[in-house]
Structure 1
Amino acid sequence: MTEDARFEDAGNQPLNLGAMDPEDLQVLSALAQDSVTTVADVAWEKRHHRLALLINRLRREDGVHVSPPERVRSLLVVENVLKVSAQGVNPGEKDTVLSLLSVKFEPGEEGAGFVELTFAGDGALRAEVEALELRLKDVTRPYTAVSGQVPDHGA
Structure 2
Amino acid sequence: MTQDARFEDGADAPLRLKALDADDLAVVSSLVQDSVFPSSEMVWKSKERRFALLLNRFRWEDADKAQTRNRAFERVQSVLAIEDVTSVRSQGVPRGDADTVLSLLSISFEAGEDGTGTVILILAGDGAIALSVEALEVVLRDVTRPYVAPSHKAPQHPE
Give the TM-score normalised by the residue count of structure 1.
Answer: 0.90
Structure number, greater radius of gyration = 2
Name 2:3's counterpart in structure 1: none
Closer/same/farther in 2, CA of residues 11 and 26 from structure 1, 3 Å limit = farther
1:151, CA displacement in angstroms?
1.4
1:108 aligns with 2:120: no
User: Which residue does the alignment assign to 2:40?
Assistant: 40
> Could you tell me how far 1:94 is from its partner in structure 2?
3.2
Distance in 2 between the 1:101 and 1:118 partners?
Answer: 6
For 2:134, the equivalent position in structure 1 comes to 130
In the TM superposition, 1:4-153 aligns within 5 A as 12-62=12-62, 64=64, 66=66, 67-153=71-157
SS across alignment from 1:150 = coil
**Unaligned residue ranges in structure 2 (runs of 5+):** 1-7
Report the AA paired with residue 55 of structure 2: I
**Deviation digits for residues 57-104 of structure 1, max 9, x if unmatched?**
100224626242100000000000000011000214332111110000
Bigger mean CA deviation after superposition, 145-154 or 50-59: 145-154
Equivalent position SS for 1:64: helix
**Number of equivalent positions:** 147
Do structure 1's residue 154 and structure 2's residue 158 form an aligned pair?
A: yes
Q: 1:106-151 CA deviation, whole Å, 9 max, x = no partner? A: 0000000000000110011110000000000000000001111211
Q: How far, CA to CA, are the matches of 1:64 and 1:11 in structure 2?
A: 16
Identity %, equivalent residues: 50
CA RMSD of aligned residues (A): 1.6
Within 2, Cα distance between the matches of 1:65 and 1:137?
21
